[in-house]
């Protein structure tokens, strides 16, 4: 009887790259259907043109460069689908086809393919077409959340991705399944909430200073202004921001791999998106913001490398320095290790 | 937990003369000799070695190289057993003097499951041991001959005292697993030197040192979560005692001896009944729906173990010592040795066939790593031969648990790449002069003092 021999581990996860890509595509399908319902046939045309162009481009590149053809892993199709959602439905089909062609060639394969690209290919394709044909690529309207029903169906949506923020809930399921990481979305989202509220507080205080108010209680009362939602939030909590948080920022190759780094990266994304969005609009702001955050991702990564286990962090060292000076009889903590 | 005993008489028994790390034993028997149960059939004058005993009564049919579950071939004594329980006269020797105890352990053939002979762990040359730990976090080794859990707890405490006596250590601790209710209940409230002990959890900076003080006892029982891996000793020592073992050293450099339940039990038996280490309990996975436990004699072939369950299905893979880091066997004619803890069988359809693709930086490996490494980065560095950069990101801390490779969606052989880097670093620095190496902070920082 013959037995297989191989190197350990002898049991591995069933999850593979293909599953990850297809699960993202499936998570985006409800949104696509809503977009087709909302914008009609042109939206379907954009999606089909974009996905077909992506798959054909990938197939062509891998054939020409004599690599193994791996179109079936769904990565190209996923890029195509995501990019289609960022193109206005009124745009001609060739824009969609060209944007994905550019995303796959320059965005993905020029940098070395899967796992090696430094900019999210979706954003590369979008940024290029946005700059080259800004007339076609400017959305007809910029949405904002007026009432609650806007979360379910947004009538002011200019892009397909904005039609229904609630349908992006598939992304949350992917986080629950650990198909996408939770650190980046959480810190990104938290930053997007905290910054507008902080701005509200700062502007309130600045107002008081301009008025020349000297009553400290007035300043104190501004603390409570933070609790009421800032008007900025209704502009930032739109479909494309959720899409960016759940699907664009979490792209694995363009985000740091260290635990701390992912949190820092999420905050960086949040800050950049907020600055862009505050001075311009959140649709362009989100995409440019994440694009810029991609630039610093590897810088964040190399600066957040974990130390060897058991090494004290800066905070712990400072705490130790203080605690070591206090006589042990005054302390409640554990000190007597032999 | 139910433990079966292998009753059928095997066709042949293969006893490797090297079941430990160190010198190979010289065979003390010849072809055609009749040996008895417990008879010493291999021994060595070297300190770093451990005696080997026959586990059956029968005739030596060959002394030749035979397959070993580690994947290599080792000189082995092959015995054809006969249906007899004749054994050498075992005599209990309860009053062994502390300084003779190490020699006694060596003669009884007691070896840690990770390969080191127990006496070299307790009495390392030129080092002083002050704390002995019994790692009881893997409960599948428990049992065999324990009648009740209380019996187990009592014997472990006794064995710990013996180990401390052998090592000349003042302090000792037994480390349980937090989710192992059975043994925690057994140890809860046990009396040691007229003091009732509690099972104390290891949380935050509360390590054994704290509990030695709190319970005012030289022996404590603590519990922690399970960790596993091929090289866990340094990490285990850090978690339990808070002592950081320097890179390139082992726990004995920090004054800590880590023993397993199996060797503790073997020592207890050797002292109280005089029996050397020739039988053990292993777990068998894959022959039925649940985990099976089997009491076997050392030297029984894997084939006999599998056949004893009446397993007739097709076998794709036989793995010794667990599916995570174990070695796949090319034949079923390999013996159970002192270091064998588990036999796993996979059906042909369960055997994985994955093709590695590029790393997609999903960071799953980073999330699962118990020692806070960046396995994907280490794998890339090792693949490109940038070993110094591996060292800078603490490749030596790796406990080789294999979690990173198991969760990788790109199916990269991270564990092998890390081992490759570790071996390369070890080789590059092994001939470094000691003094120079400690100045440069290379190799073992302890300077071998």
- pLDDT of residue B138 exceeding 90: no
Same domain, A27 and A151: yes
pLDDT band at B95; cut points 50, 70, 90: confident
Angle (nearest 5°) at CA A15 between A51 and A167: 50
Same domain, A37 and A130: yes
The C-alpha of B314 sits at a distance from chain A's nearest C-alpha, in angstroms, of 9
Short-list B61, B52, B45, CA closest to B20: B52
- Cβ separation of A257 and B361 shorter than 8 Å? yes
- pLDDT of residue A334 exceeding 60: no
What pLDDT is recorded for position B438? 44
- Cβ separation of B317 and A13 shorter than 8 Å? no
Question: Which H helix or E strand runs over B64?
Answer: strand B58-67
In a domain, A320, yes or no: no
* Residues paired with residue B172 on neighbouring β-strands, in sequence order: B132, B219
The C-alpha of A83 sits at a distance from chain B's nearest C-alpha, in angstroms, of 20
What pLDDT is recorded for position B435? 47
Query: Tokens 């309130």, residue?
Result: A204
In a domain, A329, yes or no: no
Which of A121-135, B2-16, B78-92, B149-163: highest mean pLDDT? A121-135
In a domain, A151, yes or no: yes
Evaluate whether A337 touches A328 at the Cβ level (below 8 Å): no
Same domain, A185 and A146: no
In a domain, A333, yes or no: no
Residue of B330, B346, B405 lying closest to A12 (CB–CB): B405
Q: How far apart are CA B184 and CA B202, in angstroms?
A: 14
Which residues from B are below 8 Å from A20, CB to CB? 360, 362, 409
What pLDDT is recorded for position A179? 92
Which residues from B are below 8 Å from A3, CB to CB? 315-318, 328-332
Overall average pLDDT of the B93-107 stretch:
81
Which residues from A are below 8 Å from B207, CB to CB? 337
Encode pLDDT of B183-228 as tens digits.
788 888 888 877 888 888 888 777 888 888 888 888 888 888 888 7
Encode pLDDT of A132-166 as tens digits.
999 999 888 888 877 777 777 887 788 888 888 88
How far lies B401's CA from each of B230, B231, B325, B364, B418, in Å?
6, 8, 7, 15, 11
pLDDT band at B442; cut points 50, 70, 90: very low
The C-alpha of A167 sits at a distance from chain B's nearest C-alpha, in angstroms, of 24
| Nearest chain B residue (CA) to A70 | B357
pLDDT band at B432; cut points 50, 70, 90: low
The C-alpha of A287 sits at a distance from chain B's nearest C-alpha, in angstroms, of 21
What pLDDT is recorded for position B434? 53
- Cβ separation of B377 and A257 shorter than 8 Å? yes
Q: For chain A, how many structural domains are there in total?
A: 2
Evaluate whether B284 touches B343 at the Cβ level (below 8 Å): yes
Query: Tokens 């005012």, residue?
Result: B216
Same domain, A74 and A186: no
- Cβ separation of B325 and A9 shorter than 8 Å? yes
CB pairs under 8 A between A and B: 148
Which residues from A are below 8 Å from B235, CB to CB? 309
Q: What is the span of the domain harbouring residue A264? A: 181-303
The C-alpha of A14 sits at a distance from chain B's nearest C-alpha, in angstroms, of 8
Give how far the C-alpha of residue B261 lies from the chain's centroid of Cα atoms, to the nearest Å: 9
In a domain, A118, yes or no: yes
**B32-53 b/e with 16+ CB inside 10 Å = b?**
ebebbbbbbbbbbeebbbbbbb
Taking each helix axis as running N to C, give the angle between helix B414-430 and helix B375-383, from 0 to 180 degrees, rounded to the nearest 10. Answer: 60
Which residues from B are below 8 Å from A258, CB to CB? 363, 366, 374
| Nearest chain A residue (CA) to B403 | A9
Domains defined along chain B, listed by start: 3-90+276-346 (no CATH), 98-272 (3.40.50), 364-439 (no CATH)
Residue of B242, B318, B351 lying closest to A337 (CB–CB): B242
- pLDDT of residue B43 exceeding 90: no
Same domain, A213 and A125: no
- Cβ separation of B367 and A334 shorter than 8 Å? no
For the CA atoms of B247, B252, B254, B260, the dihedral, rounded to the nearest 10 degrees, stands at 100
Q: Where are the beta strands (DSSP E) in chain A?
A: none
Task: Determine the residue among B311, B409, B420 to mutate to test chain A binding: the one whose Cβ has the most chain A Cβ atoms within 10 Å.
Answer: B409
User: Which residue intervals of A237-281 are DSSP H helices?
Assistant: 239-243, 259-279
In a domain, A314, yes or no: no
Same domain, A43 and A130: yes
Encode pLDDT of A260-288 as tens digits.
999 999 999 999 999 999 998 899 999 99
- pLDDT of residue B38 exceeding 80: yes
Short-list A183, A142, A169, CA closest to A281: A142
In a domain, A316, yes or no: no
ipTM given for this complex: 0.87
Question: Which H helix or E strand runs over B264?
Answer: helix B261-272
Read off the DSSP letter of residue B148. Answer: S
Same domain, A228 and A280: yes
Encode pLDDT of B296-332 as tens digits.
889 999 999 988 888 888 889 999 988 888 899 999 8
What pLDDT is recorded for position B262? 84
What pLDDT is recorded for position A266? 96
Residues in contact with B13: Cβ distance below 8 Å, sequence separation at least 6, in sequence order: B55, B56, B58, B78, B79, B80, B81, B297, B299, B300, B301, B335
Q: How many CA atoms lie within 13 A of B401 on its CB side?
A: 21
Q: How far apart are CA A310 and CA A323, in angstroms?
A: 18
Taking each helix axis as running N to C, give the angle between helix A183-211 and helix A216-225, from 0 to 180 degrees, rounded to the nearest 10. Answer: 150
- Cβ separation of A305 and B328 shorter than 8 Å? no
In this predicted model, which residue has the larger pLDDT, A97 or B94? Answer: A97
What pLDDT is recorded for position B436? 46
Q: How many CB atoms lie within 10 A of CB B420?
A: 17
Taking each helix axis as running N to C, give the angle between helix A121-132 and helix A93-102, from 0 to 180 degrees, rounded to the nearest 10. Answer: 130
- pLDDT of residue A47 exceeding 90: yes
The C-alpha of B26 sits at a distance from chain A's nearest C-alpha, in angstroms, of 31
Q: Strand B58-67 relative to strand B317-320: parallel, antiparallel, unpaired?
A: unpaired
What pLDDT is recorded for position B145? 57
Task: Determine the residue among B171, B313, B316, B352 to mutate to test chain A binding: the one whose Cβ has the most chain A Cβ atoms within 10 Å.
Answer: B352
Residue of A20, A253, A259 lying closest to B366 (CB–CB): A259
The C-alpha of A119 sits at a distance from chain B's nearest C-alpha, in angstroms, of 13
User: Which residue, of A139, A156, A173, is where some domain finishes?
Assistant: A156
What pLDDT is recorded for position B321? 86
Same domain, A36 and A138: yes
Same domain, A21 and A137: yes
Same domain, A143 and A231: no
Same domain, A130 and A191: no
Q: How far apart are CA B234 and CA A309, in angstroms?
A: 11
Q: How many CB atoms lie within 10 A of CB A9?
A: 25
Residues in contact with B327: Cβ distance below 8 Å, sequence separation at least 6, in sequence order: A8, B69, B70, B71, B319, B320, B321
Encode pLDDT of A231-267 as tens digits.
888 888 888 999 999 999 999 999 999 999 999 999 9
Question: Which H helix or E strand runs over B192?
Answer: strand B191-192
Evaluate whether B295 touches B5 at the Cβ level (below 8 Å): yes
Same domain, A110 and A25: yes
What pLDDT is recorded for position B441? 45
pLDDT band at A102; cut points 50, 70, 90: very high
In a domain, A240, yes or no: yes
């Amino acid at each position: 009887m013959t037995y297989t021999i191989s190197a350990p581990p002898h049991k591995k996860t069933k999850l593979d790259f293909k599953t990850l890509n297809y699960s993202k595509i499936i998570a985006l399908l409800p949104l696509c259907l809503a977009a087709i319902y909302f914008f009609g046939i042109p939206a379907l045309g954009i999606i089909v043109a974009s996905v077909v162009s992506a798959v054909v481009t990938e197939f062509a590149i891998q054939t020409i460069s004599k690599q193994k053809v791996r179109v079936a892993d769904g990565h190209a199709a996923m890029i195509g689908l995501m990019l289609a959602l960022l193109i206005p439905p009124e745009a001609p089909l060739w824009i969609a086809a060209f944007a994905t062609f550019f995303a796959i060639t320059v965005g993905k394969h020029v940098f070395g393919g899967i796992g090696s690209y430094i900019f999210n290919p979706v954003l590369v394709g979008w940024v290029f077409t946005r700059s080259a044909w800004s007339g076609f690529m400017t959305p007809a309207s910029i949405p904002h959340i007026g009432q609650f029903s806007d979360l379910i169906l947004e009538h002011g949506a200019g892009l397909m991705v904005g039609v229904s923020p609630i349908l992006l809930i598939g992304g949350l399921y992917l986080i629950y399944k650990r198909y996408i990481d939770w650190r980046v979305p959480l810190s990104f989202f938290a930053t997007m909430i905290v910054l507008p509220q902080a701005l509200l507080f700062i502007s309130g205080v600045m107002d008081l200073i301009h008025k020349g108010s000297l009553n400290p209680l007035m300043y104190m009362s501004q603390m409570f202004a933070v609790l009421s939602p800032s008007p900025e939030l209704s502009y930032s909590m739109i479909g494309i921001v959720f899409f960016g948080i759940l699907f664009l920022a979490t792209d694995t190759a363009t985000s740091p791999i260290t635990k701390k780094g992912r949190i820092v990266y999420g905050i960086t994304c949040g800050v950049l998106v907020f600055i862009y969005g505050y001075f311009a609009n959140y649709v362009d702001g989100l995409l440019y913001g994440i694009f810029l955050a991609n630039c610093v991702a590897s810088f964040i990564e190399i600066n957040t490398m974990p130390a060897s286990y058991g090494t004290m962090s800066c905070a712990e060292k400072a705490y130790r320095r203080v605690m070591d000076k206090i006589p042990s009889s005054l302390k409640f903590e554990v000190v007597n290790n032999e | 937990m139910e433990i079966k005993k292998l009753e059928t008489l095997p066709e042949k028994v293969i006893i490797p003369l090297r079941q430990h790390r160190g010198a190979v034993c010289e065979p003390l028997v010849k072809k055609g000799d009749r040996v008895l149960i417990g008879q010493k059939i291999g021994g060595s004058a070297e300190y770093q070695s451990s005696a080997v005993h026959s586990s059956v009564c029968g005739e030596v049919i060959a002394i030749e190289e035979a397959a070993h579950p580690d994947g290599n071939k080792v000189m082995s004594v092959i015995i054809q057993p006969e249906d007899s329980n004749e054994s050498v006269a075992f005599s209990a020797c309860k009053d062994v003097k502390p300084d003779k105890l190490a020699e006694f352990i060596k003669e009884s053939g007691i070896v840690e499951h990770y390969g080191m002979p127990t006496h070299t762990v307790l009495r390392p040359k030129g080092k002083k041991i002050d704390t002995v730990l019994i790692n009881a976090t893997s409960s599948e080794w428990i049992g065999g001959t324990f009648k009740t859990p209380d019996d187990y707890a009592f014997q472990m405490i006794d064995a710990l005292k013996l180990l401390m006596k052998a090592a000349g250590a003042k302090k000792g601790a037994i480390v349980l697993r937090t989710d192992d209710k059975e043994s925690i209940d057994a140890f809860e409230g046990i009396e040691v030197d007229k003091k009732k002990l509690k099972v104390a959890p290891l949380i935050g900076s509360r390590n054994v040192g704290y509990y030695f003080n709190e319970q005012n006892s030289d022996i404590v029982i603590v519990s922690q979560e399970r960790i596993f891996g091929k090289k866990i000793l340094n990490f285990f020592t850090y978690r339990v005692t808070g002592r950081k073992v320097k890179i390139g050293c082992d726990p004995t450099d920090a004054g800590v001896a880590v023993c397993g339940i199996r060797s503790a039990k073997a020592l207890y038996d050797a002292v109280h009944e005089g029996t050397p280490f020739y039988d053990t309990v292993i777990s068998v996975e894959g022959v039925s729906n649940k985990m099976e436990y089997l009491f076997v004699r050392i030297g029984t072939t894997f084939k006999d173990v599998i056949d004893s369950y009446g397993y007739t299905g097709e076998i794709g893979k036989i793995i010794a010592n667990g599916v995570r880091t174990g070695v796949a066997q090319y034949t079923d004619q390999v013996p159970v040795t002192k270091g064998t803890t588990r036999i796993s069988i996979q059906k042909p359809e369960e055997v994985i066939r994955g093709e590695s693709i590029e790393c997609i930086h999903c960071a799953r490996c980073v999330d699962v790593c118990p020692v806070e490494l960046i396995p994907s980065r280490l794998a890339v560095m090792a693949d490109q031969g940038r070993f110094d950069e591996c060292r800078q990101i603490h490749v030596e801390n790796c406990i080789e648990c294999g979690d990173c490779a198991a969760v990788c969606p790109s199916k990269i052989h991270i564990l092998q790449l890390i081992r490759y880097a570790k071996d390369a670093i070890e080789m590059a620095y092994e001939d470094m002069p000691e003094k120079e190496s400690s100045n440069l902070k290379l190799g073992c920082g302890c300077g071998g003092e």
